[in-house]
Amino acid sequence: NSSLSLHGGLSSGLRLRCKAWNVHGAQSGSVFQLLPG
């Protein structure tokens, strides 16, 4: 469960990071393609 929780934390962290990049307009499109779903 620890590894699963860690993966979930990394996924949410990446989403927040991509949102921040989107605000700054820094290639958010290519970054979102790397995320699952």
pLDDT per residue as tens digits for the range 7-27: 667 777 677 665 665 555 555
Number of neighbours of residue 32 by Cβ within 10 angstroms: 14
CA gap 37, 34 in Å, rounded: 9
Which pLDDT value is given to residue 22?
Answer: 55
Which pLDDT value is given to residue 19?
Answer: 63
Report CA torsion sign: 23, 25, 33, 7.
Answer: negative
pTM: 0.28
Confidence of residue 4 (pLDDT cuts 50, 70, 90): low
Report CA torsion sign: 2, 7, 10, 16.
Answer: negative
Confidence of residue 5 (pLDDT cuts 50, 70, 90): low
HSE at residue 31, side-chain half, CA atoms within 13 A, is 14
